[in-house]
């Protein structure tokens, strides 16, 4: 089990590296376009207080980028190191997100994923999310999901 903690400035390079490792598999599926998390400015995100890391044996093995909205928590990024995928770390990060939302009085978590990330289209519904709609944003074909925590 990993320890989840707030990201620190010195984590920014590891977060960018984690995003590259976790999302590079999708570049070919997306016709050579890098997924948005590969382009994120991790130093700024860390400075804004929106990033949490999953740490195991002093290494960053997962991350969350969460934004507190007036009526929900927006999960902007959940990434797990390829070496740790399939170990339950993603579920641990989702459970942390649910707890964070509840702690801040929010009864809903929202997220989006790229339609080319077919694994995610099956993964999130298994963890209580329902698809709400699809659309194109910033050139990305996105699938939007929501989880009602008052029912979980």
42-51 confidence digits (pLDDT tens): 999 999 999 9
| pLDDT of residue 131 exceeding 90 | yes
24's CB contacts (< 8 A; 6+ apart) are: 38
What range does the domain containing 13 cover?
A: 3-151
DSSP state of 116: T
- Residue 134 CB: number of other CB atoms within 10 A? 11
Tell me if the pTM is above 0.85: yes
Q: Looking at the 3D structure of the chain, how many domains does it have?
A: 1
Residue 52's CATH number: 3.40.630.30
> Which of the four pLDDT bands, split at 50, 70 and 90, describes residue 151?
confident
| pLDDT of residue 93 exceeding 90 | yes
% of the chain at pLDDT higher than 70: 99
Whole-angstrom Cα distance, residue 3 to residue 51? Answer: 14
């Amino acid at each position: 089990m990993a320890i989840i903690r707030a990201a620190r400035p010195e984590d920014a390079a590891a977060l960018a590296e984690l995003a590259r490792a976790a999302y590079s598999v999708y570049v070919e599926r997306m016709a050579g376009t890098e997924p948005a998390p590969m382009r994120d400015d991790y130093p700024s995100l860390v400075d804004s207080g929106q990033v949490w890391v999953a740490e195991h044996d002093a290494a960053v093995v997962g991350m969350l980028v969460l934004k507190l909205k007036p009526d929900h928590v927006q999960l902007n990024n959940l990434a797990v190191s390829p070496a740790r995928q399939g170990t339950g770390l993603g579920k641990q990060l989702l459970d942390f997100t649910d707890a964070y939302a509840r702690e801040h009085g929010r009864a809903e978590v929202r997220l989006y994923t790229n339609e080319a990330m077919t694994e995610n289209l099956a993964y999130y519904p298994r963890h209580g999310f329902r698809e709400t709609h699809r659309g194109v944003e910033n050139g990305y074909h996105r699938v939007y999901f929501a989880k009602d925590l008052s029912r979980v």
